[in-house]
Amino acid sequence: MDSLLKTTAAATRRIAADLRPLILDDLGLPDALEWLVQDFTQRTGVACQLAMDEQLPVLPAPQSTAVFRIVQESLSNVAKHARASLVKVTIERSETEVTMTVLDNGVGLAGDQPRKPHARGLLGIRERASMLSGEASIVSAPAEGTSVKVRLPLQKAVST
């Protein structure tokens, strides 16, 4: 019983951390993205550049979590599948939206290959964007790399 309780508690902590990464609360989105990119390069040996708009607003928790998770999933896909030597992550904002792009110079996706049964990464990216009234586009071709681009509308501040 003790072992079951410890396992359940550990699983609960892991699920809670997955919902809202503590690093976002501790560092904020810009620094969390810097850490994510540096960690990716250290783990994989793949060069990763981050260009971020200095005017990036403080985003509400659902949006900052989505941006972090989308970049995280995109980098995970690069590490698993792309065989890339360079990844560029760009975060920009306009008056109405935040746009993130993850572009790699890897092998690209073959459009005629069936999706792997447990591959949910790209689907998850599209779903995260959709849940926040955004849109995701994935552009890829064999030997030409992959571009994942997500646009999320900025939520207007509510005046009291």
Continuous H helices in 45-137:
61-77, 121-131
Query: What is the domain extent for residue 145?
Result: 2-153
In a domain, 160, yes or no: no
The total domain count for the chain is 1
CB 69 within 8 A of CB 128: yes
pLDDT value, residue 61: 85
CATH code assigned at 143? 3.30.565.10
Whole-model pTM: value is 0.81
Nearest to 37 by CA among 49, 23, 29: 49
In a domain, 159, yes or no: no
Q: What is the pLDDT of residues 77-98, one digit of tens each?
A: 999 999 999 999 999 988 889 9
Rounded CA-CA distance 69/73 in Å is 6
In a domain, 158, yes or no: no
Among 7-16, 59-68, 69-78, the minimum mean pLDDT is found in 7-16
Beta carbons within 8 Å of 65's beta carbon, 6+ residues apart:
19, 20, 21, 24
